[in-house]
Amino acid sequence: METILFSKTDKIKIVTFVAVAFGLPWLLLPQIRVEGILAYNIPAPYMMILPTFGIILGRIICERKIHGWFHWIYTIAFIESTAVMVLCAAKVITGKEADDMLTVSSMALSIVLLLGMMIDGQELYPFKDLKKAIGIHIMFVAIAQISNLPQLIHAGALRTADEIVSYLLFAPIDIFVVESIYYFGEEYAWRGCLQGRLQNIFGKRMGVILLGIIWELWHMPLWFQISEPGQGKLIVLLVLMRMPYVIALAVFFGWAYMKTNNIWLCVLIHGVNNAAVSAFDSDLVTVADTVESVSVFDGIMTAVAVIVMLLFLFTKEYRKGERV
């Protein structure tokens, strides 16, 4: 490991990113108490915007100006979603109204984001290395079915086929057009920015493993949000259960990004993963429900999926040089 010296500008950017991406969820999410699936639907999209906005805000502070439409779109997304969160916390609007407002704004901002990247046609072009991206998308859909096998067995052949077709053909449209402002908000930060920095410091493999740990710890305010009072121990158990899977996701997503240099591929497979996780568990809205629902078969199949994704640590992308 080499010694890395951070400039004053670097330190300002790091502090700003941590304050926004990790601090704001702990500040605002405890104020939002709505029931059912809205307990997840309202805070989760807000959290997903924060990592990229944290990076952008750090640049704005250091350079004292906003650079281009990309910075503007996430600044607008942050202001709008924060306003919705505050209004919901103050009970000026209901949880349902907040959810509807976030849905409408996410579609508008996602379309602008997608079209803007297509027109720019540069580093963040959505269809870069398209053939490889399609192959990796299909590969991940197959891997996602491993951990879902217990539910698939009970669901039957017809629903299983319907889910797989949805992930392959229809999910990309929904993720890109309706939700990309959120998934891009995570992936631009985790894969596009933080992964390379951690790999430069700790090496490709250890860097991506550390990213997976950071990524799961970032989720913790959300688990407190959907939990019942007094479930602190269950939240810790949930994080420990999820940690190997999220690290494995970080390994696979990191490999996909290094393979194609296409951040939109990570946006897509991130969305597919979330859809696969929620497809058969949409009624699980508390931490206790989630923990207690895990059977031995569930655990075994999830472990198999984790092992499959961790094997990508031994691909040439992780062997090419010690650092990126």
Read off the pLDDT of residues 233-246 as tens digits, 9 standing for 90 and up. 888 888 888 999 99
Nearest to 285 by CA among 35, 99, 33, 32: 35
Mean pLDDT computed over 259-277: 94
Reduced to 3 states (helix: H, G, I; strand: E, B; else coil), residue 32 is coil
First to last CA, the chain: 13
Q: Tell whether the model's pLDDT for residue 160 goes beyond 80.
A: no
Q: Cβ(195)–Cβ(207) under 8 Å?
A: yes
Which of 93, 20, 33 has the alpha carbon at shortest distance from 61? 20
For residue 51, is it left (φ>0), alpha (ψ between -120 and 50) or beta? alpha
How confident is the model over 266-274, as a mean pLDDT? 96
Number of domains in the chain: 1
The pTM (predicted TM-score) of the whole model is: 0.91
In-domain check, residue 267: yes
**Better-scored residue on pLDDT, 229 or 65:** 65
Confidence (pLDDT) at 249: 97
Judge whether 101 lies within some domain.
Answer: yes
Q: Determine the average pLDDT of the residues in 14-31.
A: 93
Q: Is residue 84 part of a domain?
A: yes
The residue that leads in pLDDT, 3 or 107, is 107
pLDDT value at residue 47: 95
Confidence bin at 3 (pLDDT 50/70/90) = low
Task: Tell me the C-alpha distance between 112 and 100, whole Å.
Answer: 19
Q: What would the mean pLDDT of 299-306 be, rounded to a whole number? A: 88
Taking Cα atoms as reference points, which of 94, 80, 90 lies closest to residue 45? Answer: 80
For residue 302, name the pLDDT band (cuts at 50, 70, 90). confident
Q: What is the pLDDT of residues 63-103, one digit of tens each?
A: 988 888 999 999 999 999 999 999 988 889 888 898 899 99
Q: What is the mean pLDDT of residues 138-158?
A: 80
What is the extent of the structural domain holding 145? 8-319
Averaged over 310-322, what is the pLDDT?
88
Left, alpha or beta for 111 (phi > 0: left; psi -120 to 50: alpha)?
alpha
Residue 151: both structure tokens together: 């539910």
pLDDT of 159 strictly over 50: yes
User: If pLDDT is split at 50, 70 and 90, which confidence band does 53 have?
Assistant: very high
Give the count of alpha carbons within 13 A of 128, CB side only. 21
If one counts every other C-beta atom within 10 angstroms of the C-beta of residue 67, the result is 11
192 found inside a domain: yes
- In a domain? residue 276: yes
Q: Say if 225 falls within a structural domain.
A: yes
Helical axes 180-189 vs 43-63, angle rounded to 10° = 50
Residue 169 belongs to some domain of the structure: yes
- Pinpoint the alpha helices (H) of the chain: 8-18, 24-28, 38-41, 43-63, 68-89, 95-120, 130-147, 149-155, 157-165, 171-178, 180-189, 196-202, 204-218, 220-225, 232-260, 263-279, 287-292, 296-310, 316-319
Q: What pLDDT score was predicted for residue 67?
A: 82
CA angle 74, 5, 9 (to 5 degrees): 35
pLDDT value of residue 282: 45
Inter-CA distances, 320 with 16, 191, 247, Å: 32, 18, 20
Distance of CA 181 to the CA centre of its chain: 11
Q: What is the pLDDT of residue 280?
A: 46
Residue-wise pLDDT for 194-222, tens only, equals: 999 999 999 999 999 999 999 999 999 98
Does residue 290 or residue 99 have the better pLDDT?
Answer: 99
Q: Which two tokens stand for residue 226?
A: 């959907």
- For position 278, what pLDDT does the model report? 65
CB proximity list for 313: less than 8 A, separation 6 or greater: 205, 208, 251
Structure tokens given for 26: 């702990």
Half-sphere exposure of 258 (CA within 13 A, CB side): 23
Residue 217 tokens, joined = 């710890």
Q: For residue 311, name the pLDDT band (cuts at 50, 70, 90).
A: very high
Q: Which two tokens stand for residue 137?
A: 């998308």
Structure tokens at 149: 């096998």
Mean per-residue pLDDT of the chain: 87
